[in-house]
A and B are shown apart, each in its own frame.
Chain A
Amino acid sequence: MPWLAGTALLHSAVVMEKRNALKIWTLLLAILAFSLSLIGTFLVRSGVLTSVHTFANDPARGVFILAILVVFIGGGLTLFAWRAPMLKQGGLFAPISREGALVLNNLFLTTACLTVLVGTLYPLALEALTGEKISVGAPFFNLTFAPLFIPLVFAMPFGPLMAWKRGDILGVAQRLTVAFGVGIVAIAVTFAATGQWSSLAPFGIGLGVFVMIGAVTDVVERVGLFREPFSTVRRRAIGLPRSAWGTALAHFGVAVTLLGIVGVTTWASERIMALKPSQTISLSGYDLTFDGLVQRSGPNYREAVAKFTVREAGVPIGVMEPSKRNFASRATTTTEAALMTRGVSQLYLSLGDTGADGSVSVRLYYKPMVLLIWLGAVVMAMGGALSLSDRRLRVGAPKPAAKPAMLPAE
């Protein structure tokens, strides 16, 4: 929740900075983002909810955190209610404009945030009020998140291309023609390659490619590539504020992540099998031969390591060594899965029980394009870093005297 609110804050702060509008909303988001991280702490640490992160929960601590919540959230929102109306509101804008696009972004993100909040707290409220127990899980979030995020992502390339104050959606759409085209080609190619409509995967890929090209289009349009002579393009590229590069890069990263998510959810495969030594397990073109079990000891554990030779089309490409570690002092066993990276895809191999006859049960996953998810996040982070290094934000940097006349209205 805080991350969704934080992303919304990131975007509304742009409007506030450039156009002096949405001030009150931005402040509210700043308060909410922090409040939500406190609420998250409370939910997990007080023992109200049980999650993977429930390590050190303690009702007494919960009460303490609740007190902190009252001070920070209660105080923050009270101050907001009291003082916000006194803030002067700035710049008006038409619904179709850069500001409008950012407001749209905010609406989607805050709705998504609210959805999570409801999904998390509704069962608690219901139990407190009626004693009835329900559990809200993946189906709820799958159903509610996709309809929120698909339009959000689709609208993403439009935003940066839109002019401030009053935008021209037809003009923007025209400039995105190439992106549309490539997106549709991507849909067709994916469909031709896989032959399946049912999972909507081709559309996901198409959407990802569209956003990707859209982000590139943004930069291309700004520097006038293919339209202006090279010297002008170079001058503009240098003059382009780093925050603009950052935006494009971050949006590109979102698209990369999207591609990864679509790839993994659609084409991931897994197989579970019990193997005796020298037997082979095959999945998605990879053959893993079980060579045998070896005992090793680490600083504070003993482990049983299963050695596997991985072959692709008969050619050995590496060794995978998943293991079971036994921490004697804590009486805990952990599974150390092995992983192998092939391009942007990965193979995971995790070990189950070992049989008396030297056989092991293994679970093999093939996760195509999974690395794109993390790479996309790295690209987003790079975008963030780039816009942080923007000249305007440097402490002590003199304000630019005037904006270069060639740039579109910033």
Chain B
Amino acid sequence: MRIGGLVKPGSLQRGDNLQVSFAVTDGNADIAVRYQGIVPDLFREGQGVVAEGKLESGGVLAADTVLAKHDERYMPREVVDALKKSGRWQEGEAKSPGVYRDDPRARSLCLGAGVGLGAHSGHYTHCWCPWQRCRTDGARELDVADAVCFCRLGISGVDRLLRDLGFLGCDSLRKCTFDDAANLQGHKRLGKPRRLDALVGSDTVLFRGIGWRIRKQLACNTQSVLRIGSAIVDRLRFLLVHPLHFQPFLASGAGPFEGRDLNPILQDIGLAIHPPLLYLGYVGFSIAFSFAIAALIERRIDAAGLYMLAHRTGLTTNLDGVVSGSGIPWKMPR
């Protein structure tokens, strides 16, 4: 039997010898499950789970497999259906915590930050973004997703921003901690962005005077010309200075947000190489496909060509088998 639902909060009990028992619930009815072994990393109370096993006489499922979500966004279909049926499903639930992706505000700010703010250190109240025109008094409006975006872009000054916004020591991802942000940004590790700050600081004064000319274009709600000017200058400074002094592997040591990008599981070469190989194989098939279509249109067949292409795809098939196969067993133990 295969059951899906949520692990009922408060029901999880661990016994000796890796015995685990918990209840799976859809909000209305529960089924007790017992299992011996190691539960998955993402197995938690209140989270989605799928258990496979035999139903025993007492209504207890003796599970031989327990599967939890494979990453934060994944919800087994059975679980979704069960929750929908019991009316506990909220649309978009499975999508959390992709705040920065789903929230247009965050996205535009992110892009804006990328274009305009660059090496912003002290003027984060003047965030200019091409999509939303202007977010002047935005310090309080910035949520952490935005801040994380800054981090992601390796923009300095984010530490201060985060501290001001009061996100020190928050625990969930949405409220990422200052430490994490700083770690991400690479401040603690490398200390390079600081140098960049010092470098661009002097240019700011120089460019500040031209600010007023651009005020109308910006049509922003700002407090002073000078401040707009400085925002613009920051942007210019980013464009002018950043490319010159930008050290792609050091200054922006942040690294992509989710680890070395992608799912952490894909960080092993054995697994990371299988998607490109798969795509290679699929592209190979598209060539054989094109050949077939050409043959049908022309009403004749170049046998040797098709043979060669078929072989080429076959080669990728095998390579892919090796790689995807060899990666999975030790990267994804249950």
Contacts and interface: CB of A to CB of B under 8 A. Distances in A.
A30 B306 contact: yes
Interface in A13-43: 13-14, 16-17, 20, 23, 26-28, 30-31, 33-35, 37, 41
A400 B263 CA distance: 52
Given A17-B306, A33-B285, A33-B288, A333 B293 contact: no
A17 B307 contact: yes
Contacts of B176: 329
Given A299-B260, A353-B38, A76 B318 contact: no
A272 B38 contact: yes
B310 A10 contact: yes
Interface in A48-87: 49-50, 52, 54-55, 72, 76, 79-80, 82-84, 86-87
B188 to A, nearest CB: 11
Interface in B166-198: 172-173, 176-177, 179-180, 183-184, 189
Contact of A27 (B41, B301, B314): B301
Interface stretch (A175-183, A194-202, A288-296, A373-381): A373-381
A325 B286 CA distance: 39
Contact of B173 (A9, A37, A331, A384): A331
B314 A325 contact: no
Interface in A305-362: 324-325, 327-339, 348, 350-353, 361-362
A57 to B, nearest CB: 9
Nearest to B291: A30
A42 to B, nearest CB: 13
A231 interface: no
Contacts of B248: none
Nearest to A387: B311
Interface centre among B179, B318, B319, B333 (most CB of A within 10 A): B318
A393 B322 CA distance: 26
A27 B296 contact: yes
Contacts of A246: 311
B183 A333 contact: no
Contact of A6 (B260, B299, B308, B314): B314
B310 A54 contact: no
A272 B312 CA distance: 43
Contacts of B306: 13, 16-17, 26, 30
B18 A84 contact: no
Nearest to B38: A352
Contact of A300 (B77, B255, B314, B333): B255
A169 interface: no
Interface string B308-329: 1011111101111110011001
Contacts of B265: 334
B41 A300 contact: no
A358 B289 CA distance: 58
Contacts of B183: 300, 328-329
B81 to A, nearest CB: 8
Nearest to A86: B299
Interface centre among B76, B284, B307, B326 (most CB of A within 10 A): B307
A76 B36 CA distance: 52
A370 interface: yes
B292 interface: yes
9 contacts: A34-B286, A49-B77, A79-B296, A272-B36, A274-B18, A333-B41, A352-B18, A384-B318, A387-B311
Given A17-B307, A80-B296, 4 more contacts: A50-B76, A332-B72, A334-B265, A384-B318
The 10 closest A-B pairs by CB, nearest first: A352-B38, A34-B289, A384-B315, A30-B292, A381-B318, A350-B333, A17-B303, A377-B322, A380-B318, A83-B296
